Amino acid sequence: MLKARFRVVVGEKIALGPGKVELLTALAETGSLSRAAERLGMSYMRAWNLVRTMNACFREPLVTSIRGGRKGGGMKVSEAGLRVIALYQKIEQAALEASAPSWEELNELLAFQGSGPKLIL
């Protein structure tokens, strides 16, 4: 299996990577940091630290808090956050397409069993 894992590094911090994109996606779907963290099998504190790092590394916050009320509080992925998810996925797809010819050649040289290796980003 071939895996490409892109990371956006700002200074010494990883501003964005596959795990952070997964967290943003889960957060966009659930509207709750605790539910998103639970879905991904991570602690709330770990998820909160990842959100703080992302927000610090981008010009606009990727995640914003929603104040409590009758429906309770939560967190929301901002428009900038949704755009970051889409752009990251676009980079992954472009890399997959660019890698396909070389991957086919490399795949022919591999010894494998079962259904065979796959190119995974």
106: in domain: no
113: in domain: no
Specify the pLDDT at position 120: 62
Percentage of residues of the chain with pLDDT beyond 70 = 86
Question: With contact defined as beta carbons under 8 Å apart, do 21 and 82 qualify?
Answer: no
Amino acid type, 70 = R
Nearest to 53 by CA among 4, 5, 11: 11
Phi/psi of residue 10, each to 5°? -120, 110
105: in domain: no
What is the residue range of 30's domain? Answer: 2-92
Percentage of residues of the chain with pLDDT beyond 90 = 63
31: in domain: yes
Nearest to 21 by CA among 64, 85, 76: 85
Which tokens sit at 19? 């795990």
Which tokens sit at 89? 């996925």
Q: Which residues pair with 8 in a beta bridge?
A: 16
Q: How many domains does the chain have?
A: 1
pLDDT in tens, 16-53: 999 999 999 999 999 999 999 999 999 999 999 999 99
Question: With contact defined as beta carbons under 8 Å apart, do 55 and 61 qualify?
Answer: yes
pLDDT in tens, 54-75: 999 999 999 999 877 666 678 9
CATH number of the domain encompassing residue 18: 1.10.10.10
97: in domain: no
